[in-house]
Amino acid sequence: MDFDDTPEEAEFRAAARAFLDANAIRRAPGAVEGYRRGQDKPGALEAAKDFQRRKAEAGFAGINWPVEWGGRGGTQIQQIIYDQEEARYDVLTGIFGIGVNLALPTICTWGTDAHRARFAGPCLRGEEVWCQLFSEPAGGSDLAALRTRAVRDGDGWVVNGQKIWTSGAHYCDFGILVARTDPDRPKHEGLSYFILDMKSPGVEIRPIRQISGSAHFNEVFFTDVRIADDRRVGPVGAGWKVALTTLMRERYGMRAAPGPDFEEAFALAQALTLEDGPALANAAVREKLAEWYTRTQGLRFTRFRTMTALSRGQTPGPESSIIKLVAGNKLQEIAAWGLDLMGMAGSESGEALPLGGLFEEALLYAPALRIAGGTDEIMRNIIAERVLGLPPDIRADKGMAFRDVPTGPR
C-alpha cells in the first residue's frame, strides 16, 4: 500500500502543474472554493473560454478522450490527476463540463463521423459551450416521462415543448436534447436524442431564480423549432439508451462538493466561544466534528480505492456511487451547523462573519447537490438495485403506451 504516484503519473502531474502555473492563479492556502462564486463576474465567460483554449492547446482538455475524437488518448487516472491539480487554481472550467464530460462523449459514442468532425474540436477548445436539455416539468427523476415532442417533417424534425433546470442555457451554443418521437410506444421506447443549435428560431430561454437569488439555470421553451435529421444522435426511438450514456457519466463524479467541509467547520469552532468556553471544548461540537472528519476521510479513501483500480487499468467497483450522496448531505449539515454555532449573528450574510459568509452561501446551494444529476432517492434506488441486487420497483406505467400513462391533475 502506498499513496505515491507511479513515475509516469508523477511526470504527468508535474507537467499539469507547470501548465497551470503558467496559465492560472493558484488559490491562496486555506482559501475555499466557493460554489460558482466567480461565475457572475463580468468577463468571466470570456476568461473561461480563453483558459479552455490554452488548456486544449496544451493537451489537457479531453485527457481521457480517444485520439480519434481529438483527445489526448490518456488514462482515467491522468484525468483525475489533472483535475486534482486544477482544483487548486482559480479557474472556471465548470461551464465546459457538460460538453466535454457528457455531451461529446455521448455524441462520439452514438453519433456519426460527421458529428464528431463538426463538434468535438470546438467543444474541447471552449469555442462552443454545451447545455443539457433533459429534465422537464413532467419528467425529472422519472426522466423518461418527458413530453417535449419531435415530429418528423420532411428531412427534419419539428420540436415543441419545454425543458427546465438547464444550466447555462443563456450562454450556450448547443444543447443535447431528448424528445418524444413516438407517444404510442411505452415511455422508454418512444424517445430520440438530438443536437440542438440554441440560436435556432423558436428557442426561448427564461432564467430561473434559485433560492440563493442567483440564476444559473433556465427554462427553455421550444415553439416549432426545426432540427435537421442529420443532427439526430443514434437511431430513432433509441433516445433512452443514448441518454443513459450521458446519465451514467453524470452520476459517478469523483470530485468532492465545493464549499465548507470539515476543515472550515473546525476553523469555525476554533474561532468561536460558546456558553461553556471555547467551542472546540464543547462535547456536542467535538462529536459532530469527529463524525464529519470520519465521513470526509471515508470519501477521500473511497476515491483512493477507485483511483487504485483506474491506475491499474481495471474497472472500479461500485463504491464511488456513494460519493455524491454522502457529500451533498454532509455539506448541507455542515452549512446549517456553522450558522447555528454563530447564533443570532449567523443569520447575517457576508464578509464580516468568520469565514466570510461561506456557511450561509453553502446553506442556499446545498439543496441543489442533493437533487442535480440524480436525486438522493434515485441514487439510493441505483445502489439498491444495481449494487445490492434488490428487485426493481414495480412500475405502474410498464408496457403502457406513453399517451395512456396517468399524469395526475395539472
In the complex, the smallest distance separating the C-beta of residue 87 from other proteins, rounded to whole angstroms, is 8
168: phi > 0 → left, psi -120 to 50 → alpha, else beta; which?
A: left
Q: Is 289 in the site for other proteins (CB under 8 A)?
A: yes
- β-pairing verdict for 130-133 and 174-180: parallel
Judged by beta carbon, residue 82 or residue 110, the one nearer other proteins is: 82
- Among positions 341-370, residues that touch other proteins (CB under 8 A) are none
Q: How many CB atoms lie within 10 A of CB 300?
A: 11
Give the number of other Cβ atoms within 10 Å of residue 159's Cβ.
25
Instruction: Tell me, residue by residue from 300 to 339, as one string, x for binding to other proteins by CB under 8 A and - for no binding.
Output: xxxxxx-xx--x-------x--x--xx-------------
Residues 304 and 373: beta-carbon distance below 8 Å = no
Pairing of strands 217-228, 203-208: antiparallel
Using CB under 8 A as the binding rule, the residues of this chain from 116 to 145 that contact other proteins are none
Residue of the chain from 86, 128, 261, 361 that contacts other proteins (CB under 8 A): 261
Q: Is 287 in the site for other proteins (CB under 8 A)?
A: yes
Nearest distance from C-beta of residue 295 to other proteins, angstroms: 6
One of 189, 250, 264, 360 is an active-site residue; which one?
A: 250
Verify binding: residue 377, other proteins, rule CB under 8 A: yes
Stretch that binds other proteins, among 162-170, 201-209, 212-220, 388-396 (CB under 8 A): 388-396
How far apart are CB 175 and other proteins at their closest, in Å? 32
Q: Which uninterrupted H or E stretch holds 194?
A: strand 191-197
* Position 26 contacts other proteins (CB under 8 A): no
Q: Applying CB under 8 A, what is the total number of residues that bind other proteins?
A: 56
Compute the distance between CA of residue 127 and CA of residue 172 in angstroms, rounded to an integer: 10
Is residue 293 near other proteins by the rule CB under 8 A? yes
Tell me how far apart the alpha carbons of residues 240 and 250 are, in angstroms, rounded to a whole number.
15
Determine the Cα–Cα distance for residues 241 and 404; give it in Å rounded to an integer: 22
Stretch that binds other proteins, among 36-44, 148-156, 233-241, 262-270 (CB under 8 A): 262-270
Compute how many other C-beta atoms are within 10 angstroms of the C-beta atom of residue 329: 16
Tell me: does residue 299 bind other proteins (CB under 8 A): yes
Q: How far apart are CA 59 and CA 72, in angstroms?
A: 6
Region 217-256 residues binding other proteins, contact defined as CB under 8 A? 256
| Contact flag: residue 381 with other proteins (CB under 8 A) | yes
Three-state secondary structure call for residue 402: helix
Q: Please name which of 321, 268, 330 lies closest in space to residue 293, comparing C-alpha atoms.
A: 330
Report the nearest approach of other proteins to the CB of residue 2 (Å): 5
Tell whether residue 393 is a contact of other proteins (CB under 8 A).
yes
127 is catalytic: no
DSSP-assigned beta bridge partners for residue 205: 220
Q: What is the DSSP letter of 50?
A: H
Residues in 162-221 that interact with other proteins by CB under 8 A: none
Q: Which residues, 6+ apart, have CB-to-CB distance to 357 below 8 Å?
A: 349, 350, 351
If the CB atoms of residues 101 and 302 are measured against other proteins, the closer one turns out to be: 302
Nearer to other proteins, 10 or 211 (CB): 10
Based on the shown chain and the rule CB under 8 A, indicate whether residue 76 belongs to the binding site for other proteins: no
Minimum Å gap between C-beta 298 and other proteins is 3
The closest alpha carbon to 336, from 327, 325, 326, 347, belongs to: 347
Closest to 96 (Cα-Cα) out of 147, 44, 142: 44
304 three-state secondary structure: helix
User: Rule CB under 8 A: which residues touch other proteins?
Assistant: 1-5, 9, 77, 84, 256, 261-263, 266, 270, 280, 283, 286-287, 289-291, 293-305, 307-308, 311, 319, 322, 325-326, 377, 379-381, 383-385, 387-394
Residues marked as catalytic:
250
